[in-house]
Amino acid sequence: MRNIHDIANSLTLAEKASLCSGGTFWDTTAIPSKGVPSIMMTDGPHGLRKQAGGADHLGLNDAVQATCFPTAAAIACSWDPELMRRIGAAIGEECQAENVGVILGPGANIKRSPLCGRNFEYFSEDPYLTGQMAAAHIAGVQSQGIGASLKHFAVNNQETRRMTINAEVDERTLREIYLAGFETAVKASKPWTVMCAYNQVNGEFCAQNKRLLTSILRDEWGFDGVVVSDWFATRERDDCLKAGLDLEMPTSVGVGAAKIIEQVNNGSLSINMLDKAVERILTIVFKAVDAHKQNAAYDKDAHHALACETASESIVLLKNDNNILPINNSASVAVVGAFAKSPRYQGAGSSRINASRVSIPYDEIINAASGANVTYCEGYSLDGKGDAAQMISEAVSAAKSAHVCIIFAGLPDSDDSEGKDREHVRLPDDQNALIDAVITAQPRTIVVLMNGSAVELPWADKSAGILEAYLAGQASGKAIADILFGAVNPSGKLAETFPVKLNDTPCYLNFPGDASRVEYREGIFVGYRYYDTAGIKPRFPFGFGLSYTMFEYSDITLSANEILDTDSLTVSVKVKNIGSVAGKEIVQLYVNDAESSVLRPCKELKGFVKLTLQPGETGKATFILNKRSFAFYDKALKDWRVETGLFNILIGASSEDIRLSAPVQVNTTTSVKKCFTLDSTLYDIRNEPAAAPLLQSLFSSAQGETMLGMDADAVMLSIKVRSLAALSMTPISERSVTIEQLAAMVEEMNK
Ligand code: BGC
């Protein structure tokens, strides 16, 4: 049995230091004389990108072929962690076949703004959904003896100045929105590695942010794996190591190691700290080596089929007026749009996969339309060449002469890209013009969208059908055709809000910040938490998606009407398929805090269940809630806290479409230390039993009167306790009170 501790002990200082940086661009350092091999760590997240020849960060050398699964933005719309786990396992198998030890993903950053260029690599605007999907991804990958790397930790929500920007975020927002998904994934699935982000959080680079990398990640959440830098994110190697960053990637050709050696030798860096990092690195290196399966291979067809199944579960039907979909396969079809033949199915950057094959929507439509007449027009050009007006007019006449028209539209590749944010959320102007002209001429038009993040859809009200395919991987062409022609009933629901316009988005005025910092002024009001609470109607809400059937919700049942916050609460509802085809429904549970002393969003997602139901079948969705389902992060307490009071359990088909609700009284078990002072206001102390006798005896007759036309109650409530001494000498008071008596009252209240 190998003893990691003994191996670490056998290493010289120089060897230990060398192990803490990559040996090459993608490999850890090997120390053959001591029997320490290297492992390969490479991208991720929605498939394997292993560069075949010499490594270069720009990806100029082609990667080996791999299955390009749907991107995180797409898979999240399946709301199916089990499917995500299967994808993770399939990616793990491909890593085994390619002898990769750690795959760099999943990304659990929150979609703060639809402008973020890397949104396609992230799951959602909601931390609960993000956490469930990230945990499942990790569990799947690691089930194959391959390590996952949860990234980019943390608060990495934009590409503009991604290497340097300082994200300024308050503690409650940090915990409730930006860390919660990471927390779930770390606690539930124990990733082998966590990758620190490039940016700064509240004035400290993530790579040397001890609070994030050690206090929160290790001490609070119990992470015992390796913290790896994002590529080139390391700063001074010793400072990073002290903060909790074990492994610098890629190689720094000796610079990092030299710094560590120097600092250990001069006593500034403890050898213990270095030893801990070394042992953690050795642990995952040997874990990967031991789990490696010689001559592993995977079934390419099966993985392509899994990519197709996932895409079918993820595509979201946004509009279906007059049941324009599914298309009757004897109808003549005009296919319009260059993406029908050159589909977008992944984004640009380090996640780009050399797909083993790609299913082409146009070809799949021809198959699905089984003999019906299918025509094609380019509609717009992908390279900026060609006469836009001419292409539009050809498309209009093709659409008019067919029974139904399908337009493929979406964002250009460069708009879903690592390293660059979008400046607006519009589709290209020529595509909007095309769609507008075609849907005016042919009302039976369906628009299929291929994009990595939310877009404005100015023509949405006029179009009969909209299918959001996101960037759904190499098999998306087949999945789209299956849905268009009814072989598959769509069941995806949006994992992010589609705003009417960019100006409606919560951080519109604070994204991407200035030359050095970005203030997260919208706080916890991200995504639907903002739209809902501020009453801003989005184009399509979070959690929304249609089906070819309909579902009826009934019988909400709670296991108790009153609980302690340490109890769990079981909620169940019945859902019936009342249409004529089989379908899947994603049932969502939101919690509303009806009586809160702190500002809270009007609802927060705390559970979801995906049911498969035959026509006429009734299923049951069951949810188990716990303390975190009701809690907010209390900065003063440095912990999660539930306030005693009434909560509403909301069951919805989307965040906007709440079908059932039931109240529950939750009683807190946390006693919060009171800290009233003489400067507390009468409003602050109004419900304090220890204050009641004095307050009543002072002002019984002032109740309800007006003062200079003001509301007397409101005026009185704003007064500080200490002012009562002077006020009690005036005619409005029934008796006098001294400052000493007030101080005694404050002391009594604080007991
Ligand atoms: C990206 C990471 C990626 C790494 C290695 C970085 O630029 O931010 O997500 O895993 O490169 O390619």
> SS3 for 548-560, per residue?
CCCEEEEEEEECC
Q: Does 43 contact ligand 1 (Cβ within 6 A)?
A: yes
What local confidence, expressed as pLDDT, does residue 701 receive? 53
Q: What is the mean pLDDT of residues 70-94?
A: 98
Contact of 608 with 124, CB cutoff 8 Å? no
Q: Does 350 contact ligand 1 (Cβ within 6 A)?
A: yes
Rg (CA), the chain: 29
pLDDT digits (tens, 9 = 90+) for 619-657: 999 999 999 999 999 999 999 999 999 999 999 999 999
pLDDT digits (tens, 9 = 90+) for 539-559: 999 999 999 999 999 999 999
347 CA → ligand 1 middle, Å: 13
Contact of 374 with 365, CB cutoff 8 Å? yes
Q: Does 151 contact ligand 1 (Cβ within 6 A)?
A: yes
How far lies 135's CA from each of 108, 123, 408, 561, in Å?
9, 12, 33, 31
pLDDT band at 328 (very low <50, low <70, confident <90, very high): confident
Tell which atom from ligand 1 comes closest to the C-alpha of 104: 10
Contact of 600 with 632, CB cutoff 8 Å? yes
Element of type H or E holding 741: helix 739-750
Q: Is the confidence at residue 96, as pLDDT, over 60?
A: yes
Contact of 576 with 615, CB cutoff 8 Å? no
159 CA → ligand 1 middle, Å: 12
Q: What is the mean pLDDT of residues 150-155?
A: 98
- The protein residue whose alpha carbon is closest to atom 5 in ligand 1 is 231
- Go through 635-652 and write b for each residue having 16 or more CB atoms within 10 A of its CB, e for each that does not: eeeeebbbbeeebbbbbb
What local confidence, expressed as pLDDT, does residue 56 receive? 62
pLDDT band at 335 (very low <50, low <70, confident <90, very high): very high
281 CA → ligand 1 middle, Å: 19
Q: Is the confidence at residue 694, as pLDDT, over 90?
A: no
Residues 6+ apart with CB under 8 A from 747: none
437 CA → ligand 1 middle, Å: 41
Instruction: Report percent pLDDT > 90 for the chain.
Output: 90
Contact of 446 with 460, CB cutoff 8 Å? no
What local confidence, expressed as pLDDT, does residue 698 receive? 80
Instruction: Identify the DSSP state of 496.
Output: S
- The protein residue whose alpha carbon is closest to atom 12 in ligand 1 is 350
Q: Is the confidence at residue 228, as pLDDT, over 70?
A: yes
Q: Is the confidence at residue 296, as pLDDT, over 90?
A: yes
- The protein residue whose alpha carbon is closest to atom 8 in ligand 1 is 230
Total residues belonging to the chain: 751
Would you call 413 a catalytic residue per the annotation?
A: no
What's the mean per-residue pLDDT of the chain? 95
pLDDT band at 55 (very low <50, low <70, confident <90, very high): low
What local confidence, expressed as pLDDT, does residue 253 receive? 95
Mutate which of 109, 194, 350 to test ligand 1's pocket (most atoms within 8 Å of Cβ)? 350
Q: Does 46 contact ligand 1 (Cβ within 6 A)?
A: no
Q: Is the confidence at residue 227, as pLDDT, over 60?
A: yes
Long-range pairs, 691-698, Cβ under 8 A, ≥24: 691/745, 691/749, 694/737, 694/741, 694/745, 697/734, 697/735, 698/724, 698/727, 698/728, 698/733, 698/734, 698/735, 698/737
What's the rounded Cα separation, in Å, for the pair 687 and 678?
Answer: 16
What local confidence, expressed as pLDDT, does residue 733 receive? 80
Q: What is the mean pLDDT of residues 366-387?
A: 93
Q: Is the confidence at residue 1, as pLDDT, over 80?
A: no
What local confidence, expressed as pLDDT, does residue 569 receive? 98
Please pick, among 43, 80, 126, 230, the residue that the annotation labels catalytic.
Answer: 230
What's the rounded Cα separation, in Å, for the pair 303 and 66?
Answer: 9
What local confidence, expressed as pLDDT, does residue 700 receive? 61
Residues 6+ apart with CB under 8 A from 648: 591, 592, 594, 661, 662, 663, 664
Alpha helices in 292-407 (DSSP H): 300-314, 361-368, 388-401
Which SS3 state, helix, strand or coil, does residue 328 take?
coil
What local confidence, expressed as pLDDT, does residue 521 receive? 98
Supply 621's token pair. 């969705």
Mutate which of 231, 417, 420 to test ligand 1's pocket (most atoms within 8 Å of Cβ)? 231
Whole-structure pTM value: 0.96
Closest to 84 (Cα-Cα) out of 94, 74, 93 = 74
Q: What is the DSSP string of 194-212?
A: EEEPSSEETTEEGGG-HII
Tell which atom from ligand 1 comes closest to the C-alpha of 162: 8
What local confidence, expressed as pLDDT, does residue 295 receive? 95
Q: What is the mean pLDDT of residues 686-701?
A: 81
Q: Looking up tokens 């716990």, which residue turns up?
A: 626
What local confidence, expressed as pLDDT, does residue 686 receive? 87
Q: What is the mean pLDDT of residues 134-159?
A: 98
pLDDT band at 61 (very low <50, low <70, confident <90, very high): low
Contact of 103 with 91, CB cutoff 8 Å? yes
Q: How far apart are the first and last CA of the chain?
A: 58
pLDDT digits (tens, 9 = 90+) for 471-518: 999 999 999 999 999 999 999 999 999 999 999 999 999 999 999 999
Q: What is the mean pLDDT of residues 305-334?
A: 95
Q: How deeply is 703 buried, as exposed, middle or buried, from its count of CB atoms within 10 A (0-12, 13-18, 19+)?
A: exposed
Long-range pairs, 506-515, Cβ under 8 A, ≥24: 506/530, 506/531, 507/112, 507/113, 508/113, 511/112, 511/113, 511/115, 511/158, 512/113, 512/115, 512/158, 512/160, 512/161, 512/165, 512/421, 513/158, 513/160, 513/161, 513/165, 515/161
102 CA → ligand 1 middle, Å: 13
What's the rounded Cα separation, in Å, for the pair 135 and 620?
Answer: 24
What's the rounded Cα separation, in Å, for the pair 77 and 71?
Answer: 10
Q: Does 231 contact ligand 1 (Cβ within 6 A)?
A: yes
